[in-house]
Structure 1
């Protein structure tokens, strides 16, 4: 059973400057979502970061909420949480594939996202994966987001300004040797 296999887990890191993580959860299965949230919060706090939590109606809305937050707020990383349990229709495949695709596309744009949306065959699998004392997928998703953020900060460098310079800077650049501007 996959729930009892041993898996490698990267060593926990830490953040060297203030870090704000947004946890976005679809709490369709409230008890499972609560375990995922507990794991994510504990991991974020263990890294020395802070978090904010928002809820959305379903797994399909998670990537949209992350995209909105990226455009309109100031989060450094994101944790996507929820659970999709296979049912009797193809809706399962749609929700699993499209929520994952949305998160992947945001990640490829440079967002640091840990995907903790469980996609399982039955409730028992979800319980094992969400349990903070078992697979702790909420904590794993938070760790993934923070590891990606660490890479982003490691490789990131101040970028040269692109485009127009502010007028005050142009005046300084055009100034003469005694610091006064020339017209």
Structure 2
């Protein structure tokens, strides 16, 4: 079982400016969602960040809520939480694939998102993964969002230059008779 596997956990990022995270949860399985949220809140607070929480009806609405929030608010990062347990129909595949794909697309657009939407075969698997004292996937999703925020801030002021000009090189101004340069 995955709970018995040893794995490396990155050190918690540190911030010199406030960080504000939005936790978006689909509480379809309320007890599981509550554990995921508890883990996420604890990790965010341990990093000195603040959080807000909103609920959505299901996992498919979580990415849309994050997209709307990003366009209309000032959050630095997002934590997507919920649980999808396999049932008797193909709806499981649709929800798992589409919610994950939508979150990935938002991430590729530059949003800092930790994905903690569990996709499991059984309730017991979900309970083990959501348990704050166990696998703590809510805390792991929050940690992922915080690491992405730290990386985005680290590179926010770096420039790649303009056009084909390598960063840090001077550019000659066309038609300049005095040989003046600009950086």
Q: 2:94 aligned with 1:99, yes or no?
A: no
1:115 is paired with a residue whose SS is strand
1:58 is paired with a residue whose SS is coil
Residue 15 of structure 1: how far off its partner (Å): 1.8
Q: Which runs of 4+ in 1 moved over 6 A?
A: none
Aligned counterparts of 1:25 and 1:156: Cα–Cα separation in 2: 28
1:113 corresponds to which residue?
A: 113
1:110 is paired with a residue whose SS is coil
2:27 corresponds to which residue?
A: 27
Aligned counterparts of 2:16 and 2:134: Cα–Cα separation in 1: 29
Q: 1:158 to 1:10 in 2, by over 3 A?
A: closer
Residue 14 of structure 1: how far off its partner (Å): 2.0
2:68 corresponds to which residue?
A: 68
Aligned counterparts of 1:47 and 1:145: Cα–Cα separation in 2: 11
* Structure richer in helix, relative to its length: 1
**Matches for 1:1-183 after TM superposition, within 5 Å:** 1-157=1-157
Residue 34 of structure 1: how far off its partner (Å): 0.3
Aligned counterparts of 1:15 and 1:121: Cα–Cα separation in 2: 38
Aligned counterparts of 2:84 and 2:16: Cα–Cα separation in 1: 35
> TM-score, normalised to structure 1's length?
0.85
1:21 is paired with a residue whose SS is strand
2:173 corresponds to which residue?
A: none
1:180 corresponds to which residue?
A: none
Structure 2: which 5+ runs fail to align?
A: 160-183
Superposition RMSD in Å: 1.0
Aligned counterparts of 1:158 and 1:14: Cα–Cα separation in 2: 19
Aligned counterparts of 2:42 and 2:27: Cα–Cα separation in 1: 18
Q: How many residues align?
A: 159
